[in-house]
Structure formats: structure tokens, C-alpha cells
Structure 1
Amino acid sequence: MALFGAPQPSERDPINAVQAAIALQEVIEQVNADLKARGSDLRLSIGIGINTGEVTAGYIGSRQRTDYTVIGDAVNLAARLESNAKPGEILIGETTAQCLKALLQTGFEFGEEEREFAFVPLGGLKVKGKLREVNVYRLLWGEELVSAKGEVDKRGDGDGEHTFFHSTAKNLVFVEHETLLRPRQGWATVRREPRRKLTVRVVVAGTDLSGRSFEQETETVDVSQSGACVRLAQPMAIPSPLTVSVPDYGWRGEAIVRTIARDEQGYLTGIEIIGQAPHW
């Protein structure tokens, strides 16, 4: 188990985890190439799972032996993803995918040596300890990424909107279009809700990462048919419940936190409204 974010958390934690996973797989590929060159039939392979969430971190054990480690549901899910990863695969959980998208959408800067990657949705996966299926994504890098980008270009749906969750290591931007590549399930077109820039006064109430209740008046950054992006003063867990009021529209309802990205003015928080959203 590799740990990122404790004892010192950083916004780079999801990126660091992905880059480390890719580096591990590249080392395995090089080892296998060396074995083949020596005429050996032995081949090594590993599967990797990455998950993000709240954990209990610290020195755990007894007087005879203590280890710095982490425990919690997020750790268990990472282990489940790892056990479901095929040889050579890197699987990431929904929260990790949302963190990566949120970081990339803010124009996050990559280091010069960091690797280009993409991730594609595999749908729901039933894992031990979970009543419901969890959403899983598969990471693409190296030759597989180059091949996947070529296939996307060849199999466009005619309107030019054909790519997947994609990032480059050269400080380019996150791109999200309508057609998503699903390697295990063929090709599927997912119509994504249009967003538009609209500033609307809202009042948001919920619980922050420290467990403190808050109520804040803020404004939307953009809106969609079933959600919005608002800027909050404090971070929240993903997913977290929220109560949202739109005084100018006379509307009040419930929402769930789906994405968080930090900027100079606070935390850009993407929310999904439960039930009927206001007519923005």
C-alpha cells in the first residue's frame, strides 16, 4: 500500500498517486523486456487500485510493535479495486476521478517529467462490503493511450465531439466531450448537460470537512439543468449532502457535492440537485 495525503495533505495527492502507479507499471514493462532479452519465459505483472477519501491515520499497534498506517472505508475500497484490477491495469474510484477532473479543470500545472494519461469509465462494479455497485474508471497511458486516441478519432459520431477524460503533462487543459470510450463495453455516446455561465445568489448549508455546520450566501459560477457550480469558503467531503436556497427564485431543495477544486477565492464546488432543479 502506498499512501498519499498523510500526514501532510496536498492538492497534488491524486496526481501523485496516478503518476506513481504509471511509473510502477512502466518499471514492470521494462523488467519484462529485460527478461525477454535474456531468453527467459518469466513475466511479471501487477494490478493497481487507487481510491480517495477520509481515513484514520496514525501509529497503530501495541507496545511491542507500532506502524504508521491508515484505516477506513476508503482504504478498503482501494484494496477492492486492486483485487479487481487485471494484470497491467490501474483502476481508480469515483472520488479519485472527480478529484482529477476538478484539478484539471482549474488549469492545474504538471511537472515536465509527468506522464500523459486518460481515464475511461467502466461502469458499476460490485465489491465486497458495499451494498451498491461502485463506479470504476480505468487509467490509460503510454502506447494504450496513443492507440485509444487514434480509435476515438476514427470512430467519431459525426459532430466532432468525440474524446474522453483526458489530461496532458504539458499544462494543457482538461477536456470532456460527449462520446466516452468504454473498452470493456464497446462504444457509447453519453449526452452531457450543457452548462452556461450564470450568476445567481444562493444560500448553501451543510457540514465541512471538520464536521462543523455552516450556512453561506454565495453565487453560482455556472449552472446546468440539474446542478450548479458554486464557490464556498470551506471544503466538503465528496459526496456530502447540502441544503440549497435560491431566494430570488423562491426555491429551496437538497443537493449532493460531486466535485471540488480550489482556487484563489475559495473552493469551486460542483453540486447535483436532488429532484426538480430551479428553472435557472
Structure 2
Amino acid sequence: MTVTASDAPRLSAWRSYLADLWRRREFAQYLAAANLRARNANTVLGLAWWVLNPLMLSLVYFLVFGILFGQVDATPRYLPHLLSGMFVFNFTVLSMTGGANSILGNMSLLANIRFPRLILPISALIESTIGFLASLVVFYALAIPVDGIWPSLRLLVLPAVLVLHVLFNLGLAAITARLVIPFRDINNLIPHFTRLWLYLSPIIWPLSFVTERAPWVTDWLPLNPMVPLTGLYRWVLMGSDLAPGTLEAGLAWSLGMFLLGIVAFVRYEGNMVRHI
């Protein structure tokens, strides 16, 4: 690809922005640590709630859908299937809400200090990533005794899958952070959107449950990013089969959402203070 003279200033501005972001990486880490301390200061269990919330919700779904609706008998290794999906989904939801809250909770910082605003959703992503990594330990703590699922050599691929997931989540966090100032109602809409997204994803139900009853849905599955993401994690964590095209769809969603979110956020960044 040829870079024209008109593109040079734009590329230079992006390089300068990314360099400034890298220089201030410790600021993002500091914000994440400070937010973690503040959020858990008045709780007995502290950081454990990052894992306990999706875990308890998973147990509710296990009782309702697994026991009452018979998914335990219909779906092999249903509890690990449910837990892995819930932990992955919760990571994304926390990143989305964290992106919006990182802006709303730091208005004075935005108004008084000059720094790359993208640091704020990045700090929120650091928080949710810590909680997600802790949840993987809990996953095996339950999956080993319940279904005999042990870590395998596929865990060597986990960092690559995590990178794809982090890129996707950062893009989403940047989008919610971009939208929350001009559209404050987005914080009220996110819970309804994510609840619908949960029911449309292969988390509570296995993919086969839907595709066997409505084969036409198969053609639409790539439109849901949770399909490739949960598929990749289950391949790594549980040794499940990987459906054709899962990796390609995961790459497309992760890179696409990352680029869309970053570009949308950075282009709007200069106007943020005016709308505070």
C-alpha cells in the first residue's frame, strides 16, 4: 500500500498518540489498581466477587436449564460448558460496562489533566482481565472433580486466544466509552443488550441444541462474536472440537472490533471535554 503525502500527517499523529499511550502505560496500571482497591474496600470477600458473581449466576442457570430442563442429560459435560461460557461472557460484559464507567467516574480527571483518554478504558480492561484470569483457576477447580477435565497442552494456545479476546473487549470498551458522554442512557441499555446477547449465544445451550432444531441458524452464527470466542476457549480448556471457520471468525471479530473501537474513540477524544 502506497502512503501519499496527504496520509503522512495522519500517520504521524497516530504514531505520536500511540507513543504517548505507551509512555503512560504505568498510569493505566495505577488507575486499575486504585479502582480495584476502591471497589473492594468495603466488602469482606473483595476480589473474590469478580469470580463469585458469574459463578453464582452459572449455578442458577445450572439448576434451571441443566436440572429442570434436562440439559445435564442432553449435553455432555454441561457444567464445564456452562461455566466456561459464563466466565468468557462475563469478561466481555465487565469490559463493556467498565469502558463506560471509566469515563463517567473520571470526569474531573478528563477536565483538568491532559493525557490520552484511551488510558481510561484500558485501565478498566486491566481490571476485568485480572478477574477473568482468576476465574480460569475456579473453572478447573470445578471441572476436574465434576467431569474429570484436566489442563492439557492446549493451554499453550491460551495466551493467543486471550489476546484475541482482549482486543475484542478493548474495542467494545472504547465504543461504550465513546458513546457514554453524548448518550448517558447507554449505561441503562447495556444490561438489556447483554441479557439478550447471552440468550442468543452458545452459553446456556450448546450450539447443537439450536442447529438441530433450526438448521438455517447455522448460516447466521458468524454474526455473533461469542460463537467463535467461546468455541476457542472450550477447545483450549475442555478439549472440545473446533468447528470449521471458528479461528477465522474469531480473528475477524477481534481485529475488526478493535480497530473500529480505537478509531471511533480517538477521533472523538478531542471533543470529550466540551460535553462534560
TM range, normalised to the smaller chain? under 0.3
- Normalised to the residue count of structure 2, the TM-score between the two structures is 0.25
Which structure dedicates a bigger proportion of its chain to helix?
2
Which structure dedicates a bigger proportion of its chain to strand?
1
**Higher RCO structure, 1 or 2 (CA under 8 Å, sep 6+):** 2
